[in-house]
A = this chain, B = another copy of it.
Amino acid sequence: MSLADLTKLPGVTAEPVAVTQGYVFNHTMIRVKDLAVSLDFYTRVLGFVPVHRQDFAEAAFTIVYLVLRGDRSVIPDDDTERLAWALAQPGVLELTHNHGTENDANFAYHNGNSEPRGFGHLCVSVPDVKAACARFDSLGVPFQKRLEDGRMKHIAFIRDPDGYWIEILQPGRIDG
């Protein structure tokens, strides 16, 4: 569908107002049971870098912002600058850890894909989807859908430590 036709879909505003020009879709927040386990997964398996951590002692939770940037030299060194930078970037991941959940064997978060449904998944695009999936396999990452499963042979879904689905795809290999 052409860009012109997309702007004529029911509901779509003809022209976003100028005041929204500086708006940035900055981050997505998910709750995680065990922060160390999730930090291992997002940094080692997917290459994210933590750029900010904040404890809320009284409310007993911690947040960590992570970015996925091949060139880490773009990340400011100064703490205040780095936080302002992170909040102005698109594609930031926020992990929220409510203290103590990691010690409860029966505790689990809901990934949104069984009832009651809502949130669906995150997606990480990669330069080579086959190589990426082979690597995830070698690392023991669980798959929700392998490339060869189902009809859509160009996408896979892996699961993070909380069971959230992460779509893996290669730009230019999706038919649309």
Contacts and interface: CB of A to CB of B under 8 A. Distances in A.
Interface of A: 1-3, 6-7, 9-13, 16-17, 19-31, 35-40, 43-44, 46-54, 64, 67-68, 70, 75, 77, 79-80, 82-94, 96, 109-112, 116-127, 131-132, 135, 162, 164, 167, 169-172, 174, 176
Contact of A83 (B11, B49, B67, B176): B176
Interface of chain A: mostly helix, strand, loop or mixed: mixed
A28 B31 contact: no
Contacts of A68: 20, 23-25, 90
B21 A83 contact: no
Contacts of A91: 24-26, 89-91
A124 B19 CA distance: 13
Given A23-B125, A29-B120, A53-B1, A174 B87 contact: yes
A169 B87 contact: yes
Contacts of A112: 110, 112, 118-119
B23 A126 contact: yes
A24 B78 CA distance: 24
Contact of A116 (B109, B122, B164): B109
Contacts of A119: 28-31, 112, 118-119, 164
Q: Pick the most buried of A47, A162, A174: most chain B CB atoms within 10 A of its CB.
A: A47
Contact of A31 (B89, B118, B123): B118
A9 to B, nearest CB: 6
Given A11-B40, A47-B17, A84 B23 contact: no
A27 B123 contact: yes
A33 to B, nearest CB: 10
